[in-house]
Copies of this chain bind each other. A is one copy, B any other.
């Protein structure tokens, strides 16, 4: 199995995604928020690339949420803080979500055979599902303002680290950027929250008084469910449930 890590959404091209499993990462905060909402019982999360798309997709009873550059979108009842997507009001709801980078990355990944949204909260489960899907893997870091974001690289490194746990026969081939991210994760494994707080987006959230978001996004492997894109909607999927008819290992 080959594993490639793409540093930001700007670097993604469809040729790198075809016939693969794409794991999209936007730790601060879209993919953390998506995992949190599904764990809280949302029926699905629908990623929308633009605010206008989000408005058009939102029907009665849905929740529309998102941000642009860390700030809640005017007219939307929810922002992009994971803490907003817990509790009874989320149960059974369709969430329409549009964010600065994460939902754009999900839309860009559409050419892949399988699309997963990963965060630190569910990285191990995402790696397990990706392993079971038996395709080469592309980890697409959403980044921030078209550039690499430290927290996404950290999560990419954790994903590579987790994939390696499954690789008992040494078949995993990780590209140079993936190896660098794995080393980043190993160096920072004991200071995850501090690392998020020192990232450019982390600093911005701190300036905006959103320290709680950084705490929420720093938890490692606390969720088992994987947001899996199915016909435009992210639904919860559990690893360990793949049919035995999967394609042979690439």
Q: Which residues from chain A sit less than 8 Å from chain B, CB to CB?
A: 7, 144, 147-150, 153, 175-177, 179-181, 183-184, 186-188, 198-200
Contacts and interface: CB of A to CB of B under 8 A. Distances in A.
Given A186-B187, A187-B186, A187-B187, A150 B180 contact: yes
A151 to B, nearest CB: 8
Contacts of A186: 187
What is the interface of chain A mostly: helix, strand, loop, or mixed? helix
Contact of A180 (B144, B175, B176, B181): B181
Contacts of A147: 175-177
Contacts of A149: 176
A100 B175 CA distance: 19
A200 B187 contact: no
A4 to B, nearest CB: 10
A180 B180 contact: yes
Contacts of A199: 176, 179
A176 B148 contact: yes
A153 B175 contact: no
Contacts of A200: 175-176
